[in-house]
Structure 1
Amino acid sequence: MDIKALIGVILVVAGAATYQASEWWERAYATYISSQTSPDGCLRVDTYKAFWVLPSFLHRIPDPDPENRNDLGRDWDGAFFKRAYEVSTGDFLGETVVFDASASFNMMFWNDSKEAGRRIVLANGFPMVDTDRCADKATLATLEAFYEKEREEFRPIQERWERDRERDREEERLREQNQPDERQASGAAASPPGGGRLAGR
C-alpha cells in the first residue's frame, strides 16, 4: 500500500476513534453547573457543561424536534446536558443529550405524560426521564397545584394582553374605515371647480 494512502487510513481511523471516545469523556469529565428541584420536591435535575476536546463545529447541534437535522460545521455557544435523580433515594433516572443551550428551549416540563402512573420529564425540549417514579397521585397533585398557581398568577397578564390586542384591532379597523373618506376628501380638494377646467378670462 502506498505510504500516503496508509497515512490517510490511519488518520481516518484515529479520527473516528477520537470522535467515539469524545462521546464518553464529554460526560465523564463534565463540569457541574447547578441543580434544580422539581416543584413537587421529588426530582433533582443537575446541569453540566460537557467536556470537549474536538472543536464544536465537528459536533452536530441536536434539535428538540427529531424531524430536524442540523448540519455539521456550526459553532456551539455552549454544550450542556442535564441529569435527573430521585430526591428520596438518589437514584439516577435519566439524562438528556448534549445540547446547545442557545438552540433549545430554556424550560423544564416536569410532566409531559398523559398516562396515569407515568412521568415524562423534558429539559430544554429534550427527553430526560420516562419513569413510574414520582408519578403517584399525591405527587402529581402537588405538581398540578403548582401549575395552577402559576396559571392564576399569569391570568391577569394574559387578560391585559388580550385587552391590548383587542384595542389594537379596533384601532386598526377604524383606520381602515377612515381611509376611503380621507382619500375622497383629498381627491375633492385637488379637483378645481368646473370639472377640472379652468375658467378663461
Structure 2
Amino acid sequence: MTYLSRQIAFAATYVTIAGGLWVASQWWEKSLATNLSAPVISPGGCYRVETLKPFWALPSLLQPVQDPNEEGSTKWFQLWGYPGFYKLYDHRSGKLIGMSSVYDLQYTSGPLYWGSKSFPEVSAGAIYIGPNVPDCIGDRPMPRNSAN
C-alpha cells in the first residue's frame, strides 16, 4: 500500500466514523434527554407538555442551529443559549402525540398555545410541538356520547 493510498484509507475511515457518530447522536440526543422542568398540563386537562434538554456528546458549537420560522435554514458553529425540545402527550391516555425539533429555546420559545378550531395545534412561541387530538380541539374536551 502506497503512502497516498494509506492517507486516503485513513481519511475515509475518519469520515465514516465521524459520520456514524453524528448519525447516532441524532438518535441519542432525544432518547437520552433530561427534563428541564416539571411537565405542564393544559387547563382543560387534554395535553401534557414536557420540556427536555438534549443529550449531546459533542460540544454545542458543533450542533446545527435551526430557525423554526425558516424551513431548511440551518446555521453551523453558532453558540446556543438554551438548547431544548418539547414532547406533547395526550394527558388522558399518556400517548405521545408530537415532538419538536431541538431549538435554542432562549430565542424561539414562548407561551404555550393549546390550539383552536381554526389553528388546531399545540405550540410554544414559534415552535410547533404537535397537532390537537380530534376529541380535544383547543384543549376543550368533547363530551363522550352516551349509548341510548
TM bracket (short chain)? 0.7 to 0.9
The equivalent of 2:29 in structure 1 is 26
Relative to 1, partners in 2 of residues 1:137 and 1:128: Cα closer, same or farther, differing over 3 Å? closer
Partner Cα separation in structure 1 for residue 14 and residue 76 of structure 2: 19
Shift of 1:81: 0.9
Q: Which of 65, 76, 79 is the aligned partner of 1:75?
A: 79
The equivalent of 1:121 in structure 2 is 122
Partner Cα separation in structure 2 for residue 22 and residue 29 of structure 1: 10
Q: Normalized against structure 2, the TM-score is what?
A: 0.81
SS in 1 for 2:24: helix
The equivalent of 1:50 in structure 2 is 54
Relative to 1, partners in 2 of residues 1:136 and 1:62: Cα closer, same or farther, differing over 3 Å? closer
Q: Which of 39, 45, 67 is the aligned partner of 1:41?
A: 45
Contact kept, 8 Å, 2:28 with 2:55, in 1: the verdict is yes
Q: Relative contact order (alpha carbons < 8 A, sep ≥ 6): 1 or 2 greater? A: 2
2:16 is the alignment partner of 1:13: yes
Partner Cα separation in structure 1 for residue 20 and residue 113 of structure 2: 36
Relative to 1, partners in 2 of residues 1:3 and 1:81: Cα closer, same or farther, differing over 3 Å? same
Gaps of 5+ in 2: 143-148
Deviations 1:96-120 (A, max 9, x none): 10111122132212115516xxx31
Gaps of 5+ in 1: 142-201
Deviations 1:22-63 (A, max 9, x none): 011011111122210112221010111110001212221111
| Paired amino acid for 1:102 | Q
CA RMSD of aligned residues (A): 2.4
Partner Cα separation in structure 2 for residue 138 and residue 19 of structure 1: 38
Relative to 1, partners in 2 of residues 1:77 and 1:41: Cα closer, same or farther, differing over 3 Å? same
Q: How does 1:43-192 map to 2 (within 5 A)?
A: 43-67=47-71, 69-111=73-115, 114=118, 119-135=120-136, 139=140
| Paired amino acid for 1:6 | A
Shift of 1:3: 1.0
Structure with bigger strand share is: 2
SS in 2 for 1:2: helix
Shift of 1:4: 1.2
